[in-house]
């Protein structure tokens, strides 16, 4: 896997996940894939009801096999063309019977820059705010997602091999 | 207090590391060499206990504290899992932008 993830296991940084990935594609191309809701939907495996607009909630559902019933809501925070895109959401709402709307959200940020490493575009993805998500929720998400995600990762390994 | 906030304090982290390295310990032992009063250490242990990260037990007349390993594992595995989901998503983003762009 080319993507590297840092999920620090101690201290304040357990609140966030940070990932940096270098893409062999021009910045404008990467920006479209992230900020255009239609393109975002294809790689994020969701179906969305509208474009991304600052201050507006984009609603949709996942298209992940077996999880099609799950609704998602992306509260778009900031759009800075070809540089920065941020939204808040309820991380992985896995139980359709539970109303997550009163629970805290996490912040997802995409930052784009020119890659120093032989051209291309570096994308940093940060998801933060896990401190505020109740432990019971995380335990439940872990329990319910485990099988599904192990399968996903196997698929991915086949795909990139 | 959310579990990750309980982990964000250096004294509490130090207490967890010692319990993790040395096993169950009394408050007296946990206070030694910390420069922090027994009362403060006790408060920190109760804060960790409230979010289920440590457990209180009794050994003779002394109170001892131990890690609640199961609870710690949940918080950690959840983050690992979210990180794995981003790995998968980022790989799909890479495949999309490095391939031909659809009209």
A65 touches chain B (CB under 8 A): no
Q: pLDDT above 90 covers what percent of chain A?
A: 47
Query: A52: pLDDT confidence band, cut at 50, 70 and 90?
Result: very high
- Which residues in chain B are closer than 8 Å to A126, comparing Cβ atoms? none
The three-state secondary structure class of A48 is strand
Q: Which of B13, B82, B98 sits opposite A127 (nearest CB)?
A: B82
Q: Given this model, what pLDDT does residue A134 score?
A: 72
Comparing A7-11, A12-16, A142-146, B11-15, the range with the smallest average pLDDT is A7-11
**Mean pLDDT over the full length of chain A:** 78
Chain B residue numbers touching A34 (CB-CB < 8 A): 93
Q: What strands, in cross-sheet order, belong to the sheet with B25-26?
A: B25-26, B62-67, B54-59
What is the per-residue pLDDT across A135-160, written as a single tens digit (0 to 9) for each? 666 766 655 554 444 444 444 444 43
Residue B80 confidence (pLDDT) above 70? yes
Q: Which of A86-90, B5-9, B83-87 has the highest mean pLDDT?
A: A86-90
Cβ separation A145–B81 shorter than 8 A: yes
Condensed to tens digits (0 to 9), the pLDDT of residues A70-96 reads 888 999 999 999 999 999 998 866 666
Residue A108 in contact with partner chain B when CB distance is under 8 A:
no
Q: What is the pLDDT of residue B50?
A: 84
Is B79 in contact with A139 (Cβ distance < 8 A)? Answer: no
First CA to last CA distance, chain B: 50
Task: Count CA atoms closer than 13 A to B93's CA, side-chain side.
Answer: 29
The pTM score is: 0.66
Looking at the DSSP bridge assignments, the partners of residue A107 are: A88, A128
DSSP string, chain B: --HHHHHTSHHHHHHHHHHHHH-SEEHHHHHTTSSS-HHHHHHHHHHHHHTTSEEEEEETTEEEEEE-HHHHHHHHHHHHHHHHHHHHHHHHHHHHHHSPPP-
DSSP β-bridge partners for residue B65: B25, B56
Torsion, CA B53, CA B54, CA B55, CA B60, rounded to 10 = 170
A33 contacts in B (CB within 8 Å)?
Answer: 93, 96-97
ipTM over 0.90: no
pLDDT tens-digit map of B12-53: 878 887 887 788 899 999 998 888 899 999 999 998 888 788
Which band of pLDDT confidence, cut at 50, 70 and 90, is reported for residue A26? very high
> Which pLDDT belongs to residue A9?
38
Q: For residue A64, what are its two tokens? A: 């992940």
Helix (H) or strand (E) holding A38: helix A37-44
Q: Do A25 and B97 touch (CB under 8 A)?
A: yes
Q: What is the pLDDT of residue B41?
A: 95
Q: A88 vs B7, which has greater pLDDT?
A: A88
Residues A126 and A24: beta-carbon distance below 8 Å: no
């Amino acid at each position: 896997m080319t993507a590297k993830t840092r999920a620090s296991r101690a201290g304040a940084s357990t609140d966030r996940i940070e990932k940096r990935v270098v893409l062999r594609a021009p910045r404008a191309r990467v920006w479209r894939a992230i900020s255009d809701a239609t393109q975002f939907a294809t790689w994020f495996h969701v179906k969305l009801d509208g474009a991304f607009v600052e201050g507006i909630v984009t609603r949709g559902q996942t298209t992940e096999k077996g999880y099609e019933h799950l609704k998602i809501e992306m509260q778009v925070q900031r759009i800075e063309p070809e540089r920065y895109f941020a939204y808040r959401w309820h991380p992985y709402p896995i139980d359709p019977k539970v109303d997550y709307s009163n629970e805290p959200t996490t912040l997802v940020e995409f930052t784009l820059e020119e890659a120093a490493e032989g051209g291309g575009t570096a994308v940093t993805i940060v998801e933060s705010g896990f401190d505020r998500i109740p432990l019971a929720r995380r335990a439940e998400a872990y329990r319910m997602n485990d099988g599904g995600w192990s399968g996903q990762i196997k698929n991915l390994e086949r795909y990139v091999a | 207090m959310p579990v990750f906030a309980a982990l964000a304090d250096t004294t509490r982290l130090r207490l967890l590391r010692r319990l993790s390295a040395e096993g169950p310990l009394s408050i007296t032992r946990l206070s030694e060499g910390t420069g922090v009063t027994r009362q403060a250490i006790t408060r920190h242990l109760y804060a960790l206990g409230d979010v289920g990260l440590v457990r209180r037990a009794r050994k003779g007349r002394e109170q001892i504290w131990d890690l609640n390993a199961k609870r710690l594992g949940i918080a950690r595995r959840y983050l690992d899992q979210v990180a794995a989901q981003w790995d998968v998503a980022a790989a799909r983003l890479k495949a999309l932008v490095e391939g031909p762009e659809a009209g």
